[in-house]
Amino acid sequence: MQALTKPLQHNLALFLFSSLLAAMPAMAASDLEAQEGFARARSKSLHPGMDHSAHQNPADKSQEFHGVFYGYLPCSDCDGVKTTLSLQQKNNYLIVIQPAKQSSREYFERGKYDWNEETRTVVLTPTKGGTKTRRYHIEDEGTLIQLNEDGIKMEDYELQRSDTYKSREVHIH
């Protein structure tokens, strides 16, 4: 009888273990749903009466691309250029450029940007001391590709959106 119970115990333990492994993806998905539900409930409790529906479908399409984009762009006389572009409220922008070389001083430029939905481009126009406009093609919701003077995409001149976390947009008031 004891010889029979040992294999039975072994099979029962194996069955329970495999059942737990099969349930793991379902538990992970429900955990993610629970976290999102907690985040929505927390937001409602912290900001009672605030209507978030305007954020989900903004009337002005340029509002979709508020955020921070960054990249490490090619450079002819250095190892590369760290670039951070912040598209802000009221069509203002700030771009910070830092070449990767011995004295790596940051340069910044402020200005206004215009959005063209048909061509899916963003045009940056500096407000002080600069006449050079920069143009970027919006590849997708998280990628801007710099265009040259002829409007052609420049290879390896790509900025990635940095204000997302695990494919979920960070929402800050």
Report the pLDDT value the prediction gives residue 79, as an integer from 0 to 100: 83
With a cut of 80, say whether residue 66 has pLDDT above it: no
How buried is 164 (Cβ within 10 angstroms: 0-12 exposed, 13-18 middle, 19+ buried)?
Answer: middle
**What kind and span of H or E run contains 53?**
helix 53-56
Report the pLDDT value the prediction gives residue 15, as an integer from 0 to 100: 64
Q: What is the mean pLDDT of residues 83-94?
A: 91
Report the percentage of the chain scoring pLDDT > 70.
Answer: 56
pTM above threshold 0.85: no
Query: How many whole angstroms separate alpha carbon 114 and alpha carbon 122?
Result: 6
What is the CATH number that goes with domain 61-166? 2.40.128.640
Q: What is the mean pLDDT of residues 85-111?
A: 87
**Domain ranges, ordered by start, for the chain:** 1-50, 61-166
User: What number of residues does the chain have?
Assistant: 173
Structure tokens at 16: 């329970």
With a cut of 50, say whether residue 146 has pLDDT above it: yes
Residue type for position 97: I
pLDDT digits 0-9 by tens, 111-139 = 999 988 888 999 999 998 766 889 999 88
Q: In this structure, are residues 106 and 98 in contact, taking their beta carbons and an 8 Å threshold?
A: yes
Which single residue is written with the structure tokens 């006389």?
A: 77
Q: DSSP 3-state assignment of 99?
A: strand
**What kind and span of H or E run contains 30?**
helix 2-46
Report the pLDDT value the prediction gives residue 76, as an integer from 0 to 100: 83
